[in-house]
A and B are shown apart, each in its own frame.
Chain A
Amino acid sequence: MKKLTGLVIFLVVLYVALIIAVPSQGLGLNNYNLAERIGQYGIISLGAGIVIIAGGIDLSIGSVVVLTATACAILLTDRNFGWNPAIAIPVVLAGGAIIGLIHGLLITKMNLPPFMVTLCGLFIYRGVARTISGNMSKGIGNQCLDLRHFFYDNDVFGLPRFLAIYIILAIIAAIFLHFSVYGRYLYAIGGNEKAAKYSGIAVDKYKILSYVLCSTLAAFFGVLFLMKNNAVTPSSDGFFLELYAIAGAVLGGCSLRGGEGTVIGITIGTAIMWILPNLTNMWGVPSELEFIVIGTALLLGAILDEKLRPVSKVT
């Protein structure tokens, strides 16, 4: 709770600073862009957060995004496919779920470290994306205009569509994590896997579930990415996305030790992640310093977290 309060205060301070920094006639547009970005990246932060809460890690998110976006573009436009979006998109999402399933199986059944499994994924999926695209940009031209219009051009009560989508996902995730038995199990596994096992919980099943959800959300992000940018370039798009996702989740209170974190925290963490560069940009800080600012903010967050951690009574 203390942690969450601190995050909210930090976010408010940053936002007030942003209001001061942005010229008043540009504020509306800046807010809109910022909200869109938070909504967009919040999706993968949610996925990363779920895995981290269950005590795992997923480094392959960016590559899954690029692979699914590329696959989606090919399925929609390639001469051999030319599928209807109503088929192509579910297939892509299912593909994401299968990737997560593979991660989960390797981690639970073969007992491989999650870091290793998803690091390999990071390389492999990008390689696959570059191979199936012939290492070229894949665009969707004039396809799916309706869908793109639906995802992008249309506001919901003045909110960018992307943010609206995120809010819906976040509400579902919050119910899942905080109010359902499944979520309770993920926290128990992240907190003490042995306790979960001794309680008769099917630990492997739920760990696999966390990776499936994470990769499916990454695939969904991939589809949205494609819709927004009209094209995907496997050799350059989506780098560092997993790190942004993990940073957002961790900044928002997910402990890499597992068993800790909230959806509201992940949301605030993601918001801080994207307000920070926006603010430094407005202050005229050279963009090459952006990473230093983000890195420092994360480090300070980690130090504060350690200091605020309640000390468990020693035996």
Chain B
Amino acid sequence: MSYFLEAKQICKSFPGLKALNNVDLKVNQGEILAIVGENGAGKSTLMKILGGVVNPDSGEILLDGQTVNIHSIPQAQKLGIALIHQELNLAENLDVAANIFLGREPRRAGIMRLLDNRIYDRASQIMQELGLNCSPRTLISQLSVGQKQLVEIARALSFQFRILIMDEPTASLSLEESNRLFGIIKALKQKGITILYISHRLKEIEEIADRVMVLRDGVNSGELQKGEIKHEAMVRLMVGRELKQFFHHGHRVERESELILQVKALRYLDNQKPITFDIRPGEIVGMSGLAGSGRTELAETIAGIRPMLAGEVFLKGQKISINSSADAIRAGIFLVPEDRRLHGLVLLASVKDNILLASLNSIGYLGIIPLRGGDALAKAMCDKLAIKTPSLNQQVAVLSGGNQQKVVLAKWLCRKPSIIIFDEPTQGVDVGAKAEIYALMDELAKVGAGILMISSDLEEILHVSDRILVMHHGALAGELTGQDITEESIMHLATGRALAA
């Protein structure tokens, strides 16, 4: 039999990354197909291809048995495919109704294409169905994140579609809002609408999916039929992969030493469960969690980039106040940020300038930096970290991901770190450089620094960390040590499930 929508052998590469590798997707009319996978497994890319946002490198899409070309968003819409994006894409300066109908304003006669005020009535209807209780004339900028998410959903519901793609629609919805959404999804299914549903909340998927398709590292890794859709089964398909060899392990000394960092009852959001944890000298603490669980925000708060709304931070037993990134850096708390090209480096500046950026005060005299000042230090860092660059004056933008990351590290190693927070340290870094970065972490740990490593790469978290903290929904969902550290236990905590006692 032929499927309603079928994607065959879809491939898509981004620079330095094979996002999708011969992925197949099949779905029947009126079926709710859930697509699950870890961060970066390629789910969103596949959905964007079906929605006309991204064009595949190769592969074929069949709708109703016919090959179709989806090269643009309007084309996808014409075929009846609606996509609700993971990230919010609303014009904050326009009102709710204008956003719902943006790009599909009802036509009225005349060349001026005057706006039709009937959109406000139609918007009201859809908003009521979704339980979005505000006027359709409210500006988007006045809405909360959850409400904005509902507007995104309302956008999709406002036109005639046959296939609805939802990429993490519940990420910022309350339980009540989510339940209402599930009601709508089931009603759509009754009407014969096909639904592709992405979520990290596996419990939701158990509840609503007819079938589950699992992606891992850009390839199909399995499928679950209605009766088999269980939390454990999904997790197994999501994470089960072979382990690689380059992790150093078993070097750590158990020390009952004093804590190097204590974070007590920290909050960076208004109504958030306070976060408390600590790090010992020489310890590598891994932090896991799904995208958007608040790991990066937590790191930025400790590094003084985000305002700390409440809480205390103690460094080597002494309370410190962190009001700015300068405060954190003075205390020896350094952040190696997730987006190194945006936040970690001055891309157009040289390797030397980047390495010395945080140490200029100690190199200069009265604020004047000698022409060759710091050359020796920068050179020493390049040698120590084996940064491959033709010269110290090379623009850092042209270096490989791994070498760029090493430059960011070198910047901090010029100063004496007490705490280094790594946010996705090996994202986009090749295997060789990965091993070198792990070795450096080990070395830092050996000299008594405390390390917090945020990573979405489960393999990395499992093998580099001495202890693992898992975040879920802006709160610490749990802590794992020793024998408790398994991929499954991390995924359980990260997807909002209590561990079995």
A interface residues, Cβ below 8 angstroms from B: 175-176, 179-182, 184-185, 187-188, 190-192, 194-201, 259-260, 310, 312-315
Chosen A-B contacts, 7 in total, with CB atoms closer than 8 Å, are A176-B112, A182-B113, A184-B94, A192-B90, A195-B91, A259-B91, A313-B142
Contact mask for chain B residues 107-146; partner A; CB cutoff 8 A; 1 contact, 0 none: 0000011110000000000000000000000010111110
- CA separation between A315 and B146, bound complex, in Å? 9
Chain B residue with the shortest CB-CB distance to A311: B141
Given contact pairs A182-B113, A184-B98, A313-B145, A191 touches B104 in the complex (Cβ within 8 A): no
Given known contacts A191-B91, A192-B89, is B141 in contact with A310 (CB within 8 Å)? yes
Chain B residues whose CB sits within 8 angstroms of the CB of A196 once the complex forms: 91, 102-103
Chain A residues closer than 8 Å to B85, beta-carbon distance: 198
Q: When each residue 148-180 of chain B gets 1 if its CB lies under 8 Å from chain A and 0 otherwise, what string results?
A: 000000010000000000000000100000000
B77 at the interface (CB under 8 A from A): yes
Q: A187 is contacted by which of B72, B93, B112, B269 (Cβ under 8 Å)? A: B93
Contact A200:B92 (CB < 8 A) given known A179-B115, A180-B113, A181-B115:
no
Q: How many residues of B contact A (CB 8 A)?
A: 31
- The reply to whether A184 and B89 form a contact with Cβ atoms under 8 Å apart is no
Contact, CB under 8 Å: B91 / A192 = yes
Chain B interface residues toward A at CB < 8 A: 53, 72-74, 77, 85, 89-94, 98-99, 102-105, 112-115, 139, 141-145, 155, 172, 269
Q: Is the CB of B113 within 8 A of A181?
A: yes
- Residues in B with CB closer than 8 Å to A200 are 72-74, 77, 103-104
* Residue contact A312 to B92, C-beta cutoff 8 Å: yes
Most buried by A among B90, B94, B102, B113: B102
Q: What DSSP secondary structure best describes chain B's contact surface?
A: loop
In the complex, A297 Cα to B105 Cα: how many Å? 39
9 closest A-B pairs by beta carbon, nearest first, are: A199-B103, A191-B93, A191-B91, A259-B93, A181-B113, A199-B102, A200-B74, A195-B89, A200-B73
Interchain nearest-CB distance for B483 vs A (Å) = 37
**Is B74 a contact of A312 with CB atoms below 8 Å?**
no
In Å, the complex CA distance between A187 and B94 comes to: 8
Contact residues in B for A176 (Cβ distance below 8 Å): 112
What residues on B are CB-neighbors of A199 within 8 Å?
73, 102-104, 155
In the bound complex, do residue B115 and residue A312 qualify as a contact, i.e. CB atoms below 8 Å apart?
A: no
Q: In the complex, are the beta carbons of A201 and B102 less than 8 A apart?
A: yes
Q: Is the interface of A mostly helix, strand, loop or mixed?
A: helix
- In angstroms, Cα B99 to Cα A179, docked, is 15
Are B114 and A184 in contact, with the CB atoms below 8 A? no
Q: Known contacts A187-B94, A191-B94; decide if A198 and B141 are in contact (CB<8 Å).
A: no
Provide the residues of chain A in CB contact with B112, threshold 8 Å.
175-176, 179-180, 182
Q: How far is the CB of A150 from the nearest CB of chain B, in Å?
A: 27
Task: Tell me which of B103, B144, B145, B155 contacts A201 (CB under 8 A).
Answer: B103
Distance of A190 Cα from B102 Cα, bound (Å): 13
Q: How far, in angstroms, from A259 to B95 measured CA to CA in the complex?
A: 12
- From B85, which residue of chain A is reached at the shortest CB distance? A198
Which of A175, A188, A310 meets B102, CB within 8 Å?
A188
Q: Which of B73, B77, B92 is in CB contact (< 8 Å) with A191?
A: B92
Query: A201: which B residues are within 8 A, CB to CB?
Result: 102-103
Contact at B145–A192, with CB atoms within 8 Å? no
Residue of A at shortest CB range from B105?
Answer: A181
Does A184 lie within 8 Å of B102, measured CB to CB?
yes
Q: Which residues of A contact B155 (CB under 8 A)?
A: 199
Task: Give the chain B neighbours of A175 by CB distance below 8 A.
Answer: 112, 114
Q: Please give, as numbers and ranges, the residues of chain B lying within 8 Å of A182 by CB-CB distance.
A: 112-113
Instruction: Give A194's nearest chain B residue, CB to CB.
Output: B89
Do B98 and A195 touch across chains, with their CB atoms under 8 A apart? Answer: no
- Specify which chain A residues have a CB less than 8 angstroms from the CB of B141 in the assembled complex: 310, 312
Partner of B94, one of A180, A188, A194: A188
Closest to B78 in A: A200
Residues of A within 8 A of B99 (CB): 195
Residue of A nearest to B100 (CB): A199
CA separation between A199 and B92, bound complex, in Å?
14
- Complex Cα spacing A310 to B143, Å: 11
Q: Please judge, given known A-B contacts A187-B94, A200-B74, A200-B77, whether A180 and B89 are in contact too, CB under 8 Å.
A: no
Q: B residues within 8 A CB of A184? A: 94, 98, 102, 105, 115
**Whole-angstrom CA separation of A52 from B90 in the bound complex:** 19
Is A180 touching B114 in the complex (CB atoms < 8 A)? yes
A199 to B114, CA, bound (A): 19
* B292 CB, nearest partner CB in chain A, Å: 9
- How far, in whole Å, are A194 and B91 apart by their CA atoms in the complex? 9
